[in-house]
Structure 1
Amino acid sequence: MNALPERQQAQCGDYRLSWREAGQGRPVLLLHGISSGSASWLKQFADAALLDGHRLIAWDAPGYGDSAALANAEPQAADYANALAALVSHLALRQPLLVGHSLGALMGCAYGAAHPDGLCGLALADPAQGYASADAEKRRQVFAQRRQMMDTLGPQGYGEQRAAALLRADADPQDIAWVRRGMQQLQPDGFLSAAWMLANDDINTYLARYSGPLQVWCGEQDAITPPAAAEALAARQGAPLRLIAAAGHASYLDAPACFNRYVRDFTGAIQP
């Protein structure tokens, strides 16, 4: 695997946050999912064509990497969005493109709702949509299943058991190993706070307050947030759906050339 930019850390307002960055140009904020972190974007940082004209910033959400956990152990996406706003302010980013993967898509939508004029666009990749509209028993199950996995397996066992599920059926073994490594570095408390948010929030609540440029991307072999769900989300929002061939849930790893082209296409279609 290619070398990643070194993780940076700073006190950003009320939040101690860490991130990685490389490149120059239009800022692109990469928001990882529930089982990942800033290191998951190594194939984006390794793409010279993407770095040419883009400043890539991959954060560690609160409770991940070297980012301190949120004060509230049962947060909503808006709580993560507040932390993201602190990072945007600290780095003096102007009109970034937000690319949110899986649960990062829900966080990105919350940021877009709070700062509708602060983005050049929002890309929802393999988006997790949240379960707030489900009944109480379903919401309880969503959280309890993840808590049980973390309690019984710990990050080490969780990575061993779940890594391959994030990728396509014939995934590169190196990609599986990279996903496993990221899972095994999870902080249980940070993971469980994010799991609570997944179980008790809803992406549609935030998208109702965002009217800027929006695209939905999804791996054709995504078994975690399937294309049909992504298609329904895109249809509700009147947004284009762009499928990613030969890709599972972690589409940015399975098919980085296509994923990175979608990033370039999105920013290229937006006026400076």
Structure 2
Amino acid sequence: MTSPAFTLTHADALARFPEQLAVVAQRTIGYRKAGDKHLRTMPIVMLHGIGSGAASWVRQMETLGDTHQVLAWDAPGYGKSRHVEAASPVASDYADALSDWLDALAIERCVLVGHSLGAIVAGSFASKQAARVAGLLLLSPAGGYGAASAHVRENKRDARLAMLAELGPQGLAEKRSVNMVSGGASEDAREWVRWNMARIDPVGYAQATHLLANADLASDLTHFKGRVAVAVGAEDPITPPAACEPIARAANVSLQVIPGAGHAGYIEAPVRYNALIEAFSAQCKGATQ
């Protein structure tokens, strides 16, 4: 199911929510934000997946920024964000960067929304700093291969790294973006996925590939006792509903399946996903009052 026409072109949205930089603890993090006039509300912080960036969330900023402070980062190694130090990082390396960024912006507590690989970072952060997470919303979460055998982890990692080396960011965008949305997605949504993916930093993407091989989101979720929701598009071939079920079980919640949506559902069906994020944020607010 396609979404209604966007009220802003992507170029207009990028101009409305320009890239900004935060520097703390000798670390630079790039991000975009909306809703500065809503500083008294619970912030919504959004973490992108392995082939994306902060700009992918502009449709959420456009709508949710009317009632919330909304922030989206470029993960370490993406955009202008400094890489993590380790060549083969683990989730806590990125969670530490997230903590530094939130500190720099004076955000003590937030609703954390993680998409795909961003769900891994969100889960790691929540497992270590639960008091700072009012709620954890995981969209098409990647579980990671940390619980798999060394052979499986290495094969998954090396296949993705080989594809990156062969195709480069632009070729990767052309090849991989096709699987990011459903068959009913608009050309506008497809182009936006390609635009974001074509701008990845190969070094940052390689580090994120190691993160994916090393991570175990389900294990991290067993250490977080706060409010969690897990949702996935019914037409997601990358993290299909069957793959997301164990993540939902680890969080002790029911998996929400969004009809007609693919992996990047928040891009192709922003109205539906914005409503999901808004409803979850309202639940978190009610639970913390």
TM-score of the superposed pair, with normalisation by structure 1: 0.96
Partner of 1:20: 32
Match of 1:6 among 11, 14, 18: 18
| CA distance in 2: counterparts of 1:78 and 1:236, whole angstroms | 19
Where do 1:1-272 residues align within 5 Å? 1-2=9-10, 3-4=13-14, 5-23=17-35, 24=38, 25-47=41-63, 50-270=64-284, 271=286, 272=289
Q: Structure 1 pair 168/191, CA: closer, same or farther in 2 (3 Å)?
A: same
| CA distance in 2: counterparts of 1:233 and 1:115, whole angstroms | 19
| CA distance in 2: counterparts of 1:142 and 1:39, whole angstroms | 27
Partner of 2:3: none
CA RMSD of aligned residues (A): 1.2
- Runs ≥4 in structure 1, deviation > 2 angstroms? none
Query: 8 Å contact 2:122–2:136 — kept in the other structure?
Result: yes
| CA distance in 2: counterparts of 1:181 and 1:52, whole angstroms | 26
| Structure 1 stretch displaced more, 4-13 or 26-35 | 4-13
Q: What is the deviation of 1:197?
A: 0.8
Unaligned 5+ runs, structure 1: none
User: 1:23-55: CA deviations, max 9, x gaps?
Assistant: 1232111000000000111211222xx223211
Query: 8 Å contact 2:222–2:250 — kept in the other structure?
Result: no
Count of aligned pairs between the two proteins: 270
TM-score of the superposed pair, with normalisation by structure 2: 0.91
Q: What is the deviation of 1:201?
A: 1.5
Amino acid at match of 1:11: V
Q: What is the deviation of 1:14?
A: 3.2
Q: What is the deviation of 1:148?
A: 0.7
Q: Secondary structure at the match of 1:124?
A: strand
Amino acid at match of 2:31: W
| CA distance in 2: counterparts of 1:244 and 1:92, whole angstroms | 34
Unaligned 5+ runs, structure 2: 1-8
| CA distance in 2: counterparts of 1:101 and 1:236, whole angstroms | 17
| CA distance in 1: counterparts of 2:58 and 2:130, whole angstroms | 29
Q: Secondary structure at the match of 2:68?
A: strand
User: 1:160-207: CA deviations, max 9, x gaps?
Assistant: 111111000122111111111111110000001000010121112211
| CA distance in 1: counterparts of 2:95 and 2:213, whole angstroms | 17
Identity %: 38
